[in-house]
Amino acid sequence: MGKKRILSGMRPTGRLHLGHYFGALQNYVRLQDEYDCFFMIADWHALTSEWQDTSQIPENTRELGIDWLSVGLDPQRCTMFVQSAVKQHAELSLILGMFTPVPWLERCPTYKEQIEQIQNRDLSNIGFLNYPVLQAADITIYDAVAVPIGEDQVPHLEMCREMVRRVNFIYGQVLVEPQPILSPAPRLLGIDGRKMSKSYGNAIYLSDPPDEVSRKAKLMVTDPARVRRQDPGNPDVCSVYAYQKLVSTDKLDWIETGCRTASIGCMDCKGLLIERLNALLDPIRGRRRELEANPRIVDRVLAEGNHRAREAAEATMKRVRKALHLFEE
């Protein structure tokens, strides 16, 4: 093989939407050619916030597996696995915790933000504080040279790099320091103009049927200054245009000019968008239908991935235990 290893993960918290697709999945699919990719379903990370009710996690785990396969992650070319099936992550997380000052974790922007914003859940537990340490274990246990992530995860990766430097400074070249691979796509907004998120109810899902995509697209907010059909608009401030830049690249002149001169209406523009989104989603829906009809496929893909991941993780742990003078039989 000789390809360099990368790892990325997602928490199994529900069906994936277009924000995930353009922000991460499209990138995952492309990276399969270039790298030895490990894609992890981070069910332990889901636990950090869902510990009061874990009943949805198994279903969401399989659902995420289906989403991944249906967008084109190919188990022949990548390793898809479940975090909790590879216990070595917990061992390395415990060890990395020794190299992580508590104030680093308390200062982490994602941590501070969530503690302030999320009122309906109790997040005052060590597991939630420890989130970046577990994430660092996920990455370093596979000797990943890089990690495809969104902007929001950069502080976590930075912390991971700090942990690696500390370990290596004391014990020699034990762990690999990973680089970020930032997604090239800009962040997409939901149909109400806020960040696309399940909790806002403003997302277009990969599993939405065509009429649902059409209904939601028609609700999307456009340039707020374009009130009437004859008012000229500005695509730069329109969230529909952000989508068009991804799916209608051959029609951008028509949209730009049409919008600025009011020779097209927002409904014309959205009509094209709906057509393009459905063309994009159609094959994904088809594969999803097949996978839903044969649940054993996902189960088998994950079981094989878990097996490969365990072998890779155990090899790293042997090296780590030895370097840190830990007991081995």
Which CB atom, from 69 or from 196, has the smaller least distance to ligand SF4?
A: 196
At 171 the three-state DSSP class reads helix
Radius of gyration of the chain (CA): 22
Asked if 12 interacts with ligand SF4 (CB under 6 A), we say no
Token pair recorded at residue 20:
């995930």
- Pick from 130, 223, 280, 301: which binds ligand SF4 (CB under 6 A)? 223
Which CB atom, from 264 or from 312, has the smaller least distance to ligand SF4?
A: 264
* Cα 291-296-299 angle, rounded to 5 deg: 100
- Pick from 41, 47, 259, 291: which binds ligand SF4 (CB under 6 A)? 259
The nearest distance, CB 183 to ligand SF4, in angstroms, is 23
Cα separation of 316 and 305, whole Å?
17
Asked if 226 interacts with ligand SF4 (CB under 6 A), we say yes
C-alpha separations of 6 from 34, 178, 249 in Å: 10, 9, 30
| Nearest by Cα to 320 from 135, 99, 141, 85 | 141
Asked if 243 interacts with ligand SF4 (CB under 6 A), we say no
Cα separation of 182 and 195, whole Å?
18
The nearest distance, CB 278 to ligand SF4, in angstroms, is 17
Asked if 175 interacts with ligand SF4 (CB under 6 A), we say no
Q: Which stretch binds ligand SF4 (CB under 6 A): 43-51, 135-143, 187-195, 235-243?
A: 235-243
What is the number of residues in the chain?
A: 329
Asked if 240 interacts with ligand SF4 (CB under 6 A), we say yes
Residue labelled with tokens 């399969």: 32
At 182 the three-state DSSP class reads strand
Cα separation of 306 and 284, whole Å?
24
Specify whether the CB–CB gap between 181 and 31 falls below 8 A. yes
Asked if 233 interacts with ligand SF4 (CB under 6 A), we say yes
Asked if 255 interacts with ligand SF4 (CB under 6 A), we say yes
Instruction: Pick out residues in 65-94 that bind ligand SF4 (CB under 6 A).
Output: none
Which CB atom, from 251 or from 287, has the smaller least distance to ligand SF4?
A: 251
Asked if 141 interacts with ligand SF4 (CB under 6 A), we say no
Q: Which stretch binds ligand SF4 (CB under 6 A): 20-28, 97-105, 139-147, 232-240?
A: 232-240
| Helices assigned H by DSSP within 172-209 | none
Asked if 238 interacts with ligand SF4 (CB under 6 A), we say yes
| Nearest by Cα to 60 from 129, 127, 11, 116 | 11
- Pick from 48, 222, 248, 316: which binds ligand SF4 (CB under 6 A)? 222
Interface positions with ligand SF4 (CB under 6 A): 222-223, 226, 233, 235, 238, 240-241, 255, 259, 264, 266, 269-270
